[in-house]
Chain A
């Protein structure tokens, strides 16, 4: 099919689909580089719909970075909705990039970002629709190199049959190195194999075809090792050493249609010092690194000027911990007020929100406040190391109600390790106390319309966390617990939100799965599973049938407790924190013992092995100049 003909067919399809702007591009600040302008052609694929993908900061960073190089260009591609997919199939149109409307197979590099496990089926679907053999072993010399990165790459094994090379850790550090190697392949005419071996030499790159896995009789991993000298025994993730000066594009695309996060995202900090034991991001994105006030104010100014957005949200794992938060908010409010830009603070932590900043955000907009106690009793909060007390929460809630808020969201998890009925009842107790605080304020002084929303999600044990050995509750157990919560949360003024546990169960399988799950994934996709993150598309029974077809038991992955000795599928990755630290934390969790915030002293998580990276590991070297140049210290440094 000629490009003209393909374009005509696309135009005809766009007249029939529900939301055509998902596929048309042309947004403010998007660049269309001429195909001949740059020798290396990259397509950034987001394995979910446009509205979800365009809210993703990483995509903006990486497409900006690639387009800034005169030797490379990056186009975009998203998962089409079912109506579009059906038309494409009917018309024989392959999955195409938004910018130049070329099929994915025409690019040199096809890059996926893996944000959540339940987007894996979309990766397969997009490869297939884009004209690329789904399994890496079927790809030939003319096929693109398929790369992937993002949070889920911290256990790449379940999707490793479909990806040629993974980038572990910070994409902005390794992306251009990967592209340069692939450009060399193009120039020198390297075979696929040579190219992949070259990629494996890069720090932070994992090439699954260069490793082999062996299993024990009980299904656990026996051995996992490289099969050639180019591939390292352990792959160490990449860190952004100088976060304050790290690449951050300010001319970001402004979608025409509404997307999930339709506002400026200002990343104020990466990492978190809290050490919540369930939180994978908190473990993976260590150490904590803050952007300076000057950098943030400049970025905010540039972003507002380049996008025209009406709202800035401060983003990080724990914005309340940002050292100069009140100063930052005050400065931003001062500069943005005349421009009618509002500032919002997401992911508030209840023990760090300053009353002062609360009052300042209110000056522009009074939305619902979100608190995340995560567990209902102090004992369980200690188990998960959520260093928050009931007094903290109640005090903040009291301040918020007194400050004129009436709408509050409380986030919890069910199925946490060691959870009992008492802990579930604790959730209801806490909700009741929050309601009581509202009524303590005299009528007339408090804002009208009390609304307390209690949301409960099902706990999913994640790799690289102290709970990586833990069993997830079975679906019937979670169902019972949720039933109990529905009963005890029948409280006036309180709304209870929960989700059926099936998706969390599958997420648990894939987050801690091994490479054998590639077969299940392929089978599920063949059975029609895709867009699993959308409840109206999710086909749980087909997934279970896919497991059965492959002779694998999902409970082996989700509901089994692992022993300390077991070789875990992601053990070959060095993400900074050590397995010893995680096990220590697991044992402390079993004893309901807390671990201090890193800001109060180093806990020896493993990051301190990389000299100068963590400001709290060694106060003497806190501001060491270029930490990336300093090699690892010996493992013994950990105490």
Chain B
């Protein structure tokens, strides 16, 4: 069996990279004393997977870990013992027990919702005013770095929703193993739309609020509920 658990990565630890977050979770699992399953081989490691890597500098409200257990474990017990074993910066919020045959979280992942807080109120005003006109375009080109160099892509099909309020942008963006739209791309598009210098520094604080998959009706649903 497996446990799928929702955890938070709060502001204090937002600069911790994904590999270090993985290790912190693994050590948390070891501290918890829960009956987790280990890989075979010379250097056995805990069988834990993450639905998606969260970039360095971003906070996460509902990140997902997927832990293979060696013994039957109740979700409530998992939650309780992990919260005793994790630092307050990485609290677990919910847990759910699933069968081993349950598909991998990464395979179900379709999109994520974000809050992008723009630090400077003047910049925020300019950028947020440009949301509607940008979204009204047929195509929204942004530059994207790849192995073959920088190329222009159209990010419009990757934006499920985008609106602004106060100093914050609320976005639902495609996130799959194949393609994804990052909050930084939204920012780049809006800067272009607003006629700002692309080099102008805009301080933002990104919080990924939810990971999403596709429900039976084709609409986006919280990933952990699928």
Contact = CB atoms under 8 A, between A and B. Distances in A.
Report whether chain A binds chain B.
yes
Nearest to B31: A308
Given A15-B203, A26-B87, A28-B28, A305 B15 contact: no
B15 A27 contact: no
Interface in A297-348: 304-310, 339-340
Contact of B85 (A12, A25, A258, A308): A308
Interface in A22-61: 24-30
Given A14-B15, A258-B20, 20 more contacts: A15-B57, A20-B57, A21-B15, A25-B12, A26-B13, A26-B87, A28-B27, A28-B31, A28-B86, A256-B13, A257-B16, A257-B17, A257-B20, A308-B26, A308-B27, A308-B31, A309-B27, A309-B30, A339-B30, A340-B38
B100 interface: no
B33 interface: yes
Decide if the interface of chain B is mainly helix, strand, loop or mixed: helix
Given A24-B13, A28-B86, A340-B38, A256 B20 contact: yes
B44 interface: yes
A254 interface: yes
Interface string B92-115: 000000000000000000000000
A29 B87 CA distance: 7
Interface in B1-41: 12-13, 15-17, 20-21, 23-24, 26-31, 33, 38
B76 interface: no
Interface of B: 12-13, 15-17, 20-21, 23-24, 26-31, 33, 38, 44, 57, 85-89, 119, 203
A299 to B, nearest CB: 16
A267 to B, nearest CB: 21
Contacts of B85: 308
Contacts of B23: 256
A359 B203 CA distance: 56
B38 A305 contact: no
Contacts of B17: 257
Nearest to A309: B27
Q: Which 8 A-B pairs have the closest CB atoms?
A: A308-B27, A20-B15, A308-B30, A308-B31, A26-B12, A28-B87, A256-B16, A26-B89
Decide if the interface of chain A is mainly helix, strand, loop or mixed: loop
A308 B29 contact: yes
A571 B89 CA distance: 50
A152 to B, nearest CB: 32
B173 to A, nearest CB: 21
Given A12-B203, A24-B12, A28-B24, A305 B31 contact: yes
Contacts of B30: 304, 308-310, 339
A496 to B, nearest CB: 30
Interface in A222-263: 254, 256-258
Contacts of B31: 28, 305-308
A30 B85 CA distance: 13
B140 to A, nearest CB: 26
Interface in A609-627: none
A584 B74 CA distance: 69
A128 B119 CA distance: 31
Nearest to A342: B43
A313 B13 CA distance: 28
Nearest to B86: A28
A340 B43 CA distance: 9
A20 B20 CA distance: 13
Contacts of A12: 119, 203
Contacts of B26: 308
B12 A21 contact: no
A151 to B, nearest CB: 30
Interface in A456-499: none
A204 to B, nearest CB: 36
Nearest to B43: A365
A21 B27 contact: no
Contacts of A30: 87
A100 to B, nearest CB: 12
Q: Find the residue from B15, B20, B26 having the highest chain A CB count within 10 A.
A: B15
Q: Find the residue from A28, A254, A256 having the highest chain B CB count within 10 A.
A: A256
Contacts of B16: 21, 24, 256-257
Contacts of A20: 15, 57
Contacts of B15: 14, 20-21, 24
B58 to A, nearest CB: 11
A14 B86 CA distance: 24
A254 B28 CA distance: 10
16 contacts: A12-B119, A15-B57, A15-B203, A24-B13, A24-B16, A25-B12, A26-B12, A30-B87, A254-B27, A256-B20, A257-B16, A257-B20, A258-B20, A305-B31, A308-B30, A340-B44
Interface string A1-27: 000000000001011000011001111
A488 B145 CA distance: 51
A310 B31 CA distance: 11
A325 B74 CA distance: 41
Nearest to B28: A308
A517 B88 CA distance: 46
Q: Find the residue from B24, B38, B88 having the highest chain A CB count within 10 A.
A: B24
Contacts of A306: 31
B122 to A, nearest CB: 16
Nearest to A14: B15
Interface in A266-310: 304-310
Contacts of A340: 38, 44
Contacts of A304: 30
A264 to B, nearest CB: 11
A254 B27 CA distance: 9
A555 B87 CA distance: 52
A580 B137 CA distance: 89
Contacts of A29: 87
Contacts of A24: 12-13, 15-16
Contacts of A26: 12-13, 87-89
A505 B13 CA distance: 41
Contacts of B87: 26-30
Contacts of B203: 12, 15
A293 B30 CA distance: 24
A30 B24 CA distance: 14
Contacts of A257: 16-17, 20
Q: Find the residue from B29, B31, B33 having the highest chain A CB count within 10 A.
A: B31
A14 B28 CA distance: 26
A256 B57 CA distance: 14
A21 B89 contact: no
A12 B31 CA distance: 34
B209 to A, nearest CB: 20
A29 B26 CA distance: 15
A83 to B, nearest CB: 14
